[in-house]
Structure formats: C-alpha cells, structure tokens
Amino acid sequence: MKQKQNKKAFSELIEKNQAIIHKITMIYANGRVDREDLFQEICLQLWLSYPNFREEAKFSTWMYRVALNTAISNIRKSKNSFSFKPLRETDRIPDNSNNEKENVQLLYRAISKLNRIDKAIILLWLEEKNYEEIAVIMGTSKTNVSVKLVRIKRKLEELVSNTVKQES
C-alpha cells in the first residue's frame, strides 16, 4: 500500500519535470519508438535510484545525473527505420530560411553528431547550468568542463551560426 502511494507521488513528481527527460531523449535517441523506450528506461532508473536520493542535492541535479547516466549507458540498436537525417559537414540552412522549426531541428541534428559525453555537457549548459553544476553532475573538474565547452560550442556554432544570424 505504502509502495503504491510512493509510486504515485513519484510519478507526479516526474510528470512535473518530464521536460528534462524529453530533452535528453531527443538528443540521445532517434525516432519515436527509441525515444519512448529511453524515456521509460530513464523513468525506471529514476524510480530505482530514488531511495538513494539525498535531500541535500537539488532534485533537478539528481534527476539530470540519473537520466544522463541512463542515456550514456544505453547502447541498444535502434528499433527505428526513421531517424533524424545524419548531418553532413556541408549542411547549412539556406540563407533565406526563416523557419524556426527547421532551425531547431538543425540544432538537434548538430548535437546528435557529438559524442555521448559532449552531448551531456552541452545539454546541461543549454539548460542554464553553470560550470560548477555541470562539473558536479558529470563528476569532472570545472576546468575540464570549461575547456570542453569551448570546443563543443565552436563545433555547434559552425553548424548553426548562419541560421541564428538570420533570426536575430
């Protein structure tokens, strides 16, 4: 009975914070089926790790940590025939494009080209986490985060800068 109540309370908590998980599944999985599978796996790992959650850490920090751990470790073969088109080096949004949806998709495609660790770091940075928070979540040093972020951002900017300039 108590377990059932806990599950319900936990599910409501996840429901409120599901945007975090969705963003992670968007960059770590291709296609609807894989994203749904990863979403379920993250929810399950969050539930299994919940007894170890210590109140001294922020809930969102803990949630990012478990969710990213799950996404990084998840190496099953894709079940989808449909996926984001892989990004080629020559891909650029046309100069006259004004389509925000296309720009966002391009950003996701650019991120999907990064390795799993870089994806996690850029995602945390885009989610407004500061260097120290990113270092705590990833378990690495602040210096390493800043060095890596410079490189990752440069890579991303190369791919999306034309579109962003047009928007602004």
Partner 1 sequence: MSDNDKNLKDMWNKAGNFMGTPDYGSETIERFISKRSNSTAQYVKKMMFIDIAVKSLVVVVLAIDIFLYFKTMNVLAVCIMAIILLVSLIFFQFKMLNQFSQIADYAQTPKEKLASMLTYLRSRFFTTLLAISSTYIFIFLSGMLLYFYATYGQVRPLDGQDIIVFSIFIIFGIVFNFIVNQKQVAYQIKHIEACLSDLNDNTLPLVLSNIETQRKQDRINKVLVLLVLVFGFVLLLVVFKNIGFLVR
14-43 binders of partner 1 (CB under 8 A) = 14-15, 18-19, 22-23, 25-26, 35-37, 39-41, 43
> Measuring CA to CA, which residue among 63, 154, 73 is closest to residue 114?
154
| Angstrom distance (rounded) from CA 23 to CA 39 | 10
Q: Which amino acid is at 120?
A: A
Which positions from 131 through 150 interact with partner 1, judged by CB under 8 A? 136-141, 144, 147-148
Count residues near partner 1 (CB under 8 A): 72
Using the rule CB under 8 A, which residue among 78, 83, 146, 161 binds partner 1? 161
DSSP 56: T
Identify which of 127, 150, 100 has the alpha carbon closest to the alpha carbon of residue 23. 127
Amino acid in the structure at residue 138: M
Chosen residue from 60, 117, 142, 155 binding partner 1 by CB under 8 A: 117
Q: 48 vs 58, which CB is nearer to partner 1?
A: 48
Q: Which of residues 57-96 bind partner 1 (CB under 8 A)?
A: 62, 65-66, 68-70, 72-76
Residue 87 C-beta: closest distance to partner 1, Å: 15
**DSSP category for residue 125:** H
